[in-house]
Every structure is written in structure tokens, then in C-alpha cells.
Amino acid sequence: MAAERVRTNNEADNPSSPMLQFGPDKPLKLDAGTVLSPFQIAYQTYGTLNDARSNAILVCHALTGDQHVASTNPVTGKPGWWEVLIGPGKIIDTSRFFVICANVVGGCLGSTGPASTNPATGRPYGLDLPIITIRDMARAQLMLVDHFGIEKLFCVLGGSMGGMQVLQWAASYPERVFSALPIATGARHSSQNIAFHEVGRQAVMADPEWHGGKYLDFGRRPEKGLAVARMAAHITYLSEAALHRKFGRNLQDREALTFGFDADFQIESYLRHQGMTFVDRFDANSYLYLTRAMDYFDLAADHGGRLADAFAGTKTRFCLVSFTSDWLFPTEESRSIVHALNAAGASVSFVEIETDRGHDAFLLDEPELFAAINGFIASAARARGLSL
Amino acid sequence: MSVNRAQRVDLEVVTDLIPSRSRVLDVGSGDGVLLELLQETKQVDGRGLELSQRGVNECVARGLSVVQGDADKDLEFYPDKGFDFVVLSQTLQATRNPKLVLDELLRIGNRAIVSFPNFGHWRVRFSLLVKGRMPVTKDLPYSWYDTPNIHFCTIRDFVNLCEELGATVEKATALDANGQKIGLSMPWWFWNFFGQQAVFLLRR
């Protein structure tokens, strides 16, 4: 376990990804009313930026995602989380596009987050890190995009929390975004979603190993609490139908009920596995910060309560995607964004995809999702004059 | 797709009414055949609204800007005069509230183009009068119990509705059973009897 801890710490401060460090001259202004400085952004890129710098695609990752979107994850050794979609010859073809994916600020894989060392104390930030918002994440990403000298991103895309960042980009920097592809997301976090996040946070904080957020100082980690948080959250990423199809009431490696509290059912065993593997790769405080960022997201509230005003006069081309069985970000969330974009006179496509795989469908091999992304990217590329 | 186009002469008539580079909203855009035609021939800035998920997904996969939505419910979200033209092609008869939909079209577009099957066509009248059966024709292939078309009207009915809504008919075309335009000099009753489809250009 000690070895695991060291490895996580290493990725937080010295990631195996390239990183960009911003000194005291370039602080990150935060919505919390303070600044983060110095800070760093860890990122991955794929493909080559063309001479006109017009073929860049920014991918925004979800709550527990990271910058390793299309290459092997150094912590888990698993393929990139969106390799079904992104890579040479794939729908988002890295032989044509320059794909950037950065770890969000507040994350734990190399961008400054609660597990990073606070230069003021020489110890991990823990809860001394200011609260980070979705807008702060976008602001930091903008500094990275500026670093590459990219005037206008060809596309910004992402699902779930990544989709929130896409919407934030489109609202905050419309002139920097040619096309936007927010998937399985919402313009605000619903009360039910905040509720689920609160359950997760309480599970982490109820673990005695959390130590008021200072667990890294003690060389400990609230693994049990974080695992429970992940188990609860994981249920919300699936659907009842998918769970039933996959597990039903099947028993796990046994012929009969044991009349005890072992994982008799396959679903129990599956969730325990999800929880256990998650704690090996994710920092508990990061989980608190990023769930908070999603809870605080409310794009309409930032624009006088009228979502359409967030997109007033936008020239960005939008494509929204939702999934029929997603109960975390149901289709109605996407539809209300579409209505706002229509009211703003924006160019918008909206596809609802029939699937029983729930919220996580955006990460899976969904042919209709790929067809929509392919059609949208191809027509946007024609409009952008990208010879593909 | 060429097959689709051949079957839908009204689409050619609609296309002829729209100048190049217009902003167009196609309500009930189906599989996107009209939007694609308009983009190819008129380089329009085209958007679509389509009820069926399958139609929308096909359109988006082909690079068209189409959203899933219902003409009866979702038009209210579009701004006043947001488009040069709003097209409702062979969809009016399938809406729940045609009057409200037409009113919305006239609000959203500087011009509205509406095409619909004429229920006053002689074959329809013949079917009811002589056979005593609800008409099933090439253009109206559904039986009464499975038709999505719940609000049929005749050309005369439609003209009355336009008057009621204060809409000006700038141009009207009726197509006969062979897809040929019926001469402009012909009186309304002739159109209403021999026109199988009608295309109206309206403004308010």
C-alpha cells in the first residue's frame, strides 16, 4: 500500500505526462475569489498541429477521467479512456487532428490539485486548496491553449463533467471555439445529482483514515470511504436495465445464498471490485473537489438565470448527444440546452441515442454516437476549410 | 436519395422559392432530403427540427444541423424572425394544432413555406363519395387507423386559415397527380379539385 501511495503522489507532483508550469507571474484566477499560484497543468497531445493551427481538438475529461484519453494510463496500465473514439484512423483521427487533453485543475494526475505539494508549506495541499469550479478548469485550459498559440480550437468535446467544461468554454470563450460537442451532460447539476455527490463525500469524510483531509501527511488514505463513494456513484452511471441484463440476481462463485454478508450476488462483487480498483488510482480529496465543482456548475445562474444569454450571438456550431437510459443527465437536460441555443439562434444539432447502458454509454462503443460525432466533425471540418 | 427527390416534386417547388444563402429552418425535416438539396443548390444556412429519433440521427450523421423535437411543442423556443424562411413540408397534417404551428412559423420566419397534400383532390372526393371509404392513395398511403396524418385540409381550407391568421399568400402552387404545376390562370376551385399537393409562400 505504501508503494501505491508513493506512486499516486508522484503522478500528482511529477506526472509522466508533459506539463506546463505557471509561475507567480501567471496566476490562475479562481471563482472562489482567490488565485492559484504557482500551478501546473499536466496534459497529453496526439497528432500534429497544422501550420494554420486550425486543427486542434480539446478533449475535456469527466469526474474520474484524466489526460490519458488515447494512450496507456501510467497508473492503471489500461488503454486510454476514449481510445474507441480517438486515435489514428479512428472517428477523431489523430493523423488529421491535433488532440489535446489536460488533467483538470483539482485533479490528481499532475495538474495542481489537493494531492499536489503546496509550495507554501512543502506538504500536500489537502483542504487548503481553494474550491475549484468548472469555469476555473476552463480558464486553466485556456492558458494551455494559449501556450500552443491556438487562436481558435476546431472542436471542444467531452462527456459528463467534460461536457460541462465544453459548455463553459462555449459560453466563456465563444470566439475561441469553432465547434462544441457536449455529451451526456447538463447546464447545471440537478438536486438529485448533488445528493449523490454528497453521499460520496460523506462516505470519504466518515472514514477515520481521512484525517480531516490531511491523510497524506500521515501516509494514510481513506480507501474504504472512497470505495463506498465510488460504488454509489457507479450505480448512477449505469441503468436498471443494464444492471439486470448483466447481473440479474446471479450468485457470485457459489451455488446458494450463504446467509451472511459476503458478496453473494455478482452485482455486489462487481461494485466492490469497482470501489477497490478506483482507490488505487484516485485521490480522495480530489474526489471531494471535483464533485463540488460539478455541484456548483449552473451556467444559467451565471447569466441572470437565462441560459440563452450564456450563448447570445454565438457563432459556435453545437452538437449535443444524450442517451435514453441516462438518469444522471437525462435527455431533458440536453433538450433545455438545445432550447436555449435555439433561442440564441445558434447552429445546433441534437441526437438522443437509444441504449440501455446508462450514463456511461458515452465511453462505450456506441455506433450511433460515433455516426453522429463523425457527421458533425466532418461537416464542421468542411465549414472550417480543413482539407481532410 | 434521387428516388426520394423524384417522388417529392414539391421539394423542387420549395427549393425554387428560396434564394441563395438564406437562413432556413426546416420543420419536420425527416431524413434531411430537403435540407441537403437546399445546401447543395442554394448554399443555405439550414437547420432542421424532426420528431423521429431515427430521422434526426441520420441527418446529424450526414452533417446536417438537426435537433430532435416536436413542431407542436418546440417552436416556441425559436426567436422572432430568426430565419429568412421556415419550411413545413408535408407535415402540417400530422401536427396536433396546425393553426398554432402555422402561427409560429409566421412568427419565426420572415416567410413561411408550407406544402401539404390536398384533401380536396378529386380522387379523395371520389373515394369518399362513391366507395364510401377513407381514401388510400399513392400520396396518402395510410389506412385511417394507422395514419400519422390527423388534420387533413383542402386548399380552400388552408387559404381560409391563412386569412384567419392574417397571413398574406405571396405565391401558391398546386401540383397535379403527375407532379406538374397547374396553370396559374386556373381558378381556386380547379386547383382544389385537381391539385394533389399544394405549396404556399406566406408572410405576415
CATH number, residue B127: 3.40.50.150
How far apart, in whole angstroms, are the C-alpha atoms of residue A300 and residue A319?
Answer: 19
- Angstroms from B46 CA to nearest CA on chain A: 9
CATH 1.10.1740.110 fits A194-291, yes or no: yes
**CB-based contact A343 B78, cutoff 8 Å:** yes
CA nearest to B78 within chain A: A343
Considering only CB atoms, which residues of chain A are within 8 Å of chain B? 317, 319, 335, 338-340, 342-345, 347-354, 368, 371-372, 374-376, 378-379, 382
Q: In the predicted model, is pLDDT for residue A1 greater than 50?
A: no
Among the listed ranges A144-158, A224-238, A298-312, B176-190, which one has the minimum average pLDDT value?
Answer: B176-190
Angle at CA of residue A288, ends A283 and A292, nearest 5° = 140
Pairs from B122-127 (Cβ < 8 Å, separation ≥ 24): B122/B193, B122/B194, B123/B177, B123/B196, B125/B193
**Contact in structure between B17 and B38 (CB atoms under 8 Å):** no
**CB-based contact B60 A375, cutoff 8 Å:** yes
**CB-based contact A350 B64, cutoff 8 Å:** no
- Angstroms from B144 CA to nearest CA on chain A: 29
pLDDT of res. B190: 86
Chain B contact probe: residue of A307, A336, A351 with most B CBs at under 10 A: A351
Band of residue B138 on the pLDDT scale cut at 50, 70, 90: confident
Mean pLDDT of B179-184: 81
Q: What domain count does chain B have? A: 1
State the ipTM, two decimals.
Answer: 0.86
Which residues are paired to A43 by β-bridges? A102
Please say if A326 is a catalytic residue.
yes
Which residue range is the domain that position B30 belongs to? 2-203
Please say if A359 is a catalytic residue.
yes
What's the pLDDT tens digit per position in B18-48?
999 999 999 999 999 999 999 999 999 999 9
Q: pLDDT: is A167 or B148 the higher one?
A: A167
CA nearest to B63 within chain A: A375
Nearest CB partner across the interface for A351, out of B45, B57, B78: B57
- Angstroms from B182 CA to nearest CA on chain A: 37
The pTM score is: 0.92
Q: List where CATH 3.40.50.1820 sits in chain A.
A: 2-190+298-384
Mean pLDDT of A140-164: 98
pLDDT of res. A3: 40
Q: Would you state the torsion angle of the CA atoms of residues A311, A317, A323, A326, taken in this order, to the nearest 10 degrees?
A: -30
CA nearest to A331 within chain B: B68
Q: In the predicted model, is pLDDT for residue B2 greater than 60?
A: no
Q: List where CATH 1.10.1740.110 sits in chain A.
A: 194-291
Query: DSSP letter string over B85-118?
Result: EEEEES-GGGSS-HHHHHHHHHHHEEEEEEEEEB
CATH architecture label of A2-190+298-384: 3-Layer(aba) Sandwich (3.40)
